[in-house]
Amino acid sequence: MDFLTVLQILDSSVRLATPLLLACLAGLYSERAGIFDIGLEGKMLAAAFFSAAIAYTSGNVWIGLLAGITASMVLSGIHGLASITFRGNQLISGVAINFLAAGMSVVIAQTWFQQGGRTPALQGDARFQNITLPFADAMADVPIIGPIYSELISGHSILVYIALAIVPLTWWVLFRTRFGLRLRAVGENPAAVDTAGVSVVRARYAAVMICGVLCGIAGAYLATSLAAGFVKDMSAGRGFIALAALIFAKWRPWYALMACLLFGLFDAVGNRFQNIQVGEFVVPVQFMQALPYILVVVVLAGLVGKAIPPRAGGEPYVKER
């Protein structure tokens, strides 16, 4: 395997890891506040559809991004209403959101566009274009450093750079601000936070809404950057892999980045190396496509160790009188 092939695999890993990273950080905010959210998949799917549909209709990808974020935040609001206000089962609420988004996106897409549950292909300003960073072309011929900068670091859409920038921002918010301290405290001991005069409900709703924003960006990236439109079930289990990455990262943003890049690498390798022949035996394409999911299970089963979630996670808070 030559150096250029390695760079291409790593470049593909970054692109494939971006929606996982955004969804993983979304779950990080929510679960740090004590709200388990397995509806990440549904929010990404709804955001992917509405971002693609509105981007195609308006011809402006930024309006599509805003529509995707709005759709995801609406679903986050529903999850917050069910799990915070009405103190319902958070897992059931997340499953309901996944089913709702999976059915709603296809039905509305068929009604609007009559293309079998997909949107028309996005072109021009209706898609996020790749950005060439300064001096990328000039440095392309410089040994080692040039290809790394021009092929791996440069040439991604703006949402990739936003996702990478959100990682240190999340670390700073959670561990260096009063808001982050309260958010983490709400996930560990909401009664103590309430006694201190901080609204548990408000903090949890804030976390759920942040989760909605990040899932919206993740879904919009799938439909308007990684692909050129919406197709049925295009999230393809990424929301669940993001939850696995969150457990693997033990609810820490920098570890989440490494976990998502690792899973993105698995996906890139599975896509790159197909029809592999070992002697007279040809490895089935289906096995290579399933490889990322198999490796996720292996990693979680053998490498994570003891991962302790927030102590108040999944438990509705009932204020003492």
Domain ranges for the chain: 3-302
- The span from the first CA to the last CA of the chain, in angstroms, equals 67
| Alpha helix segments (H runs only) across the chain | 3-32, 40-58, 61-80, 90-113, 145-147, 158-176, 178-188, 190-195, 200-221, 238-248, 253-272, 285-302
Question: Residue 321 pLDDT more than 70?
Answer: no
| Predicted confidence (pLDDT) per residue in 296-313, tens digit | 777 766 666 667 788 888
What pLDDT score was predicted for residue 56? 95
pTM equals 0.93
pLDDT tens digits, residue range 72-81?
999 999 999 9
CA atoms within 13 A on the CB side of 136: 14
Structure tokens belonging to residue 186: 């709400």
pLDDT digits (tens, 9 = 90+) for 178-202: 999 999 999 999 988 888 888 999 9
| Mean pLDDT confidence for 50-69 | 96
* The domain defined by 3-302 carries CATH number 1.10.8: no
Q: Report the percentage of the chain scoring pLDDT > 90.
A: 60
Name the strand (E) or helix (H) holding 277.
strand 277-278
